[in-house]
Amino acid sequence: MDRGLGPVPTSRLLSLALSAILSAICPILHAQAVPAPAATATLDKTVPASTSPKYWTLGLCRLSGPETAPEFRLLASVLPALMLSELPVLPPRLASIGDMEAAAGLASERSKFDAGSEFARQLDDRAAKFLDPSIRPERRGSELIAADVRLSTAEKRFSDAMEKASKARNHESQDALPSALSPANASGELFDPPAVSPAATSRAKAVDFLVFGKVEAESGYAAVELSGYDASVDRVVFTWRGFCSPEDPAPLAQDFARKLERWIAGRDFARIEIAVTPQAASVFVDGRELGEQERVLFRFAAGRIVVEAEAEGFEQGQVEETVSLGDRRRIIIPLAQASTGIAHITSEPDGASLSIDAARSGTTPQDIPLSGRRSFITARKDGFEDMTVVLPEKGVSTIAITLRPEDHVGPSGRVNKAKDEFYTALGWMVLSIPVTVLSTGAYNTYLEAAPRSNLDSGLVTGYNVSSVVLGAAAVATAVFTVNAIIRLVRYLRAAK
């Protein structure tokens, strides 16, 4: 029997078993040693120290509230939704030294607990195989050897966990982690209030931090209590309280959002939002290009910031500003169209004011840079009618605008007048055509009959009259046709 226990002496087994038992109760002692607010969740050994080691995620829940007051039931969803709208982009998460030490300590205790539990289980398994009478003697040796191998592996894991726990106590610093809302929150969805515990909801929704709370009616106002559960330390780390009108929760939502931003950042910061027109323009901050989803910056030191923007077909834009901690700014950079040519604009008379696409642009004469797209320029002067022309897209050109004196009729009035005159002339021309046709027929009849009538005086007289009438009708039709053509040209010019 002693040969079977050779790899692990009995005295060492007892010592290691005692260490495993102590390690198993360490998390309980640690949880009792860490002070927590009244709403602190019970230590949950199954909650991971961080659900996302490289990305810190935040989750917001609807508030729990009274079931009888409709306005408060609505507020339970509206206030967190307003907070979401204030938090489209979160600052990097930087925990305090105390929180980092607590998180590292809790993680090490969990690791020690898991390793100690596994080591104790392997000890029990090894002892059971040693004492089990059902195992035949020829098999007992091989099974004990296999149990010893598993026991040695568990012992190594337990020793590593103890070593990591000692290093965790010397934790000094950690880089800030990029942070964001949970995917559900980012799409506008709120989590249900925790039914069992914030730890269970945080684990189910795979978030590192859970914000939840409740709303109550108090003297006609809404009393809102907001709490934050941190999965890395497995406890509620803050509880804030505020009041608002049920009809206007926006100021309180903004206040809570600002406090939450500051808690996430762990330090003061300046928030800078960059807006560029056109939106597809490339943006550079201090020489570094930003993506379209990175145009909200958090700066943790005061200083100058240089923002540059560029886009094809536009002039480059640049803004340089000094920011201080606590600033919340929106930098707007509208890019001007790049010039593709020039148009020299003159007017008769001079001094007409110009507008390009309804934007004022000085007076004539003036050189207008072209933007590569079709634009409309309007010239105005007192006592004259406005005149609008189309600017070319590129190249060098001269545009002379002649303003018409104001006649109180206006372009539309002149168009209508020219149209009426054209249709009147056209009508007279149409009416003259049948007369000419009939005159032509009578003339041809007399022309054929006269030679056969031995110069009958009546026929000769009819022939002479028909020829005169035909000539007069032809002249009238020609005059009416020319007049209609002239009126048509005037109509087209007026319409143009």
pLDDT tens per residue, range 26-77: 443 333 333 333 333 333 333 333 444 478 999 999 999 876 577 788 899 9
Instruction: Give the CATH number, domain containing residue 307.
Output: 2.60.40
pLDDT of residue 104: 62
Query: What tokens were used for 379?
Result: 């010239």
Same domain, 23 and 114: yes
Q: Is residue 407 included in any domain, yes or no?
A: no
The residue written with tokens 């145009």 in the block is 295
Strand partners, 212: 227
Question: What is the Cα gyration radius of the chain?
Answer: 46
In a shared domain, residues 308 and 457 = no
What is the per-residue pLDDT across 378-415, written as a single tens digit (0 to 9) for each? Answer: 999 988 888 888 888 888 889 999 888 887 777 778 78
- Would residue 297 count as lying in a domain? yes
Residue 371, C-beta contacts closer than 8 angstroms, at least 6 positions apart: 337, 338, 339, 340, 393
Same domain, 214 and 350: no
* CA distance to 80, 81, 119, 211, 244, per residue, from 63 (Å): 7, 10, 44, 9, 14
CA–CA separation, 58 and 261 (whole Å): 11
Residue 143 is part of which domain span?
1-33+96-173
DSSP 25-63: HHHHHHHHHS---TTPPPP-TTS-S-S-TTSEEEEEBPP
Same domain, 361 and 468: no
Question: Is 371 domain-assigned?
Answer: yes
Binned at pLDDT 50, 70 and 90, residue 304 comes out as: very high
87 and 183 belong to one structural domain: yes
Query: Going by DSSP bridges, is the β-strand pair 209-218/296-299 parallel, antiparallel, or unpaired?
Result: unpaired
Q: Which of 118, 139, 173 is the C-terminal boundary of a domain?
A: 173
Give the chain's domain count: 5
Distances (CA, A) of 233 to 27, 41, 107, 229, 383: 12, 10, 8, 9, 80
* Average pLDDT of span 171-200: 87
What is the model's pLDDT at position 340? 78
245 and 185, same structural domain?
yes
- Whether 16 maps to a domain, the answer reads yes
Tens-place pLDDT, residues 141-166: 787 788 778 878 877 777 776 776 66
Q: What is the CATH number of the domain that holds 217?
A: 3.40.50.10070
Q: Average the pLDDT over 128-133 and give the result.
A: 75
Let me know whether 139 and 64 are in one domain: no
Given a cut of 70, whether residue 459 has pLDDT beyond it is no
Residue 205 sits in the same domain as residue 289: no
Helices 137-168/97-131 angle, 10° precision? 170
Shared domain check, 125 and 28: yes
Considering the domain architecture, whether residues 419 and 463 belong to the same structural domain is answered as yes
Pairing assessment for the beta strands 270-277 and 221-230 based on DSSP bridges: unpaired
Name the token pair of 58: 């935040």
Find the mean pLDDT for residues 164-190: 77
Of 126, 151, 173, the position where a domain reaches its end is 173
Q: Of 106, 140, 173, which residue sits at a domain end?
A: 173
249 in any annotated domain? yes
In this predicted model, what pLDDT tens digit does every residue of 327-352 receive, in sequence order?
Answer: 999 999 998 877 778 889 999 999 99
Dihedral sign of CA atoms 485, 489, 491, 492 in order: positive
pLDDT score at 101: 62
Residues 162 and 129 in one domain: yes
Instruction: Give all strands of the β-sheet with 270-277 in edge-to-edge order.
Output: 296-299, 270-277, 328-334
In a domain, 38, yes or no: no
Residue 470 lies in a domain: yes
Q: Quick one: 105 and 22 in the same domain? A: yes
Between 461 and 190, whose confidence is greater? Answer: 190
Tell me if 185 sits within 8 A of 209, measured CB to CB. Answer: no
Residue 1 located in a structural domain: yes
Please report, for residues 85, 99, 117, 125, 358, the alpha-carbon distance to residue 240 in angstroms, rounded to integers and kept in the order given: 19, 18, 39, 50, 52
